């Protein structure tokens, strides 16, 4: 065992995690930016910026401890209902994150992809999505999936429409459709379903996030607001995950 492997092993021992049972796919509903800012007498947009900074830290920590896939709920289809000033600020932050992600995560070997309905996004954001996906597509480390203008129901509707078109063309018969066939027409077709879904800020809802994919995910809720979510909270979530018996309907 090399020096760095020993160092990593010791770090794992200190946290109490089982390094052989790290969830392959962690999904996070990043929530509480606005409340975090309000409690400090700051505008909500300040909280979103701090939340964006924290995401970069958590991505690196997930990569370090062996998570293979990380999916974050950055902007939902329902978030368009927020005040225009806040939506505009969120979009500007997302654009900034996409522009700088491959540089700030350079050396981390992270692949970045974006899921969601892109037609409502600005041309500038769509351009940056294409750019960052292309520049990181050959990376073999953690895959960071950003759910942007994403809604679980919309995703399922989109898949059903695609299957309907295939039936109309005679590509498949309705009787041949199974769970695998549907899964392959979702945005997440090329990644495994999440093992662990974390939601911050004390809310205990899925909020239209990965509805199909979360059928057997373990759920973990934290009262900590997203900008304050640290390494120790992530490790606590994984330790709790490791104590659970995932039976998938069996005994």
Q: Which of 33, 54, 79, 240 is catalytic?
A: 79
Active site residue 190: no
- The rounded distance, in Å, linking the Cα atoms of 178 and 183 is 9
Q: Residue 152 — φ and ψ, nearest 5°? A: -60, -40
CA atoms in the 13 A half-sphere facing the CB of 193: 14
Active site residue 79: yes
Q: Which of 10, 18, 21, 31 is catalytic?
A: 31
70: left (phi over 0), alpha (psi -120 to 50) or beta: beta
Q: Residue 192 — φ and ψ, nearest 5°? A: -70, 160
Element (H, E) at 45: helix 44-65
Q: Residue 198 — φ and ψ, nearest 5°? A: -110, 135
Cβ proximity of 101 and 112 under 8 Å:
yes
Which residues are tagged catalytic?
A: 31, 79
């Amino acid at each position: 065992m090399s020096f760095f492997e020993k160092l990593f092993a010791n770090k794992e021992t200190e946290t109490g995690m089982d390094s052989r049972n790290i969830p392959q796919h962690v999904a996070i509903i990043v929530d509480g930016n606005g409340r975090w800012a309000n409690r400090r007498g700051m505008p909500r947009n300040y909280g979103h910026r701090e939340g964006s900074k924290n995401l970069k830290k958590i991505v690196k920590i997930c990569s370090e401890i062996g998570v293979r896939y990380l999916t974050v709920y950055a902007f939902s289809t329902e978030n368009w209902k927020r005040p225009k000033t806040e939506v505009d600020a969120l979009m500007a932050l997302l654009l900034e994150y996409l522009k700088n992600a491959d540089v700030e995560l350079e050396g981390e070997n992270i692949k970045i992809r974006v899921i969601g309905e892109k037609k409502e996004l600005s041309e500038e954001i769509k351009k940056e999505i294409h750019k960052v996906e292309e520049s990181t597509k050959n990376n073999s480390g953690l895959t960071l999936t950003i759910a942007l203008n994403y809604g679980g129901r919309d995703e399922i509707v989109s898949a059903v429409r695609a299957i309907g078109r295939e039936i109309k063309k005679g590509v498949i018969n309705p009787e041949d459709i199974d769970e695998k066939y549907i899964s392959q027409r979702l945005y997440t077709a090329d990644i495994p379903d999440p093992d662990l879904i974390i939601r911050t800020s004390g809310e205990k809802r899925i909020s239209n996030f990965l509805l199909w994919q979360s059928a057997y995910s373990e759920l973990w809720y934290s009262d900590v607001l997203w900008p304050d979510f640290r390494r120790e909270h992530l490790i606590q979530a994984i330790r709790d995950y490791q104590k659970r018996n995932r039976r998938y309907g069996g005994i």
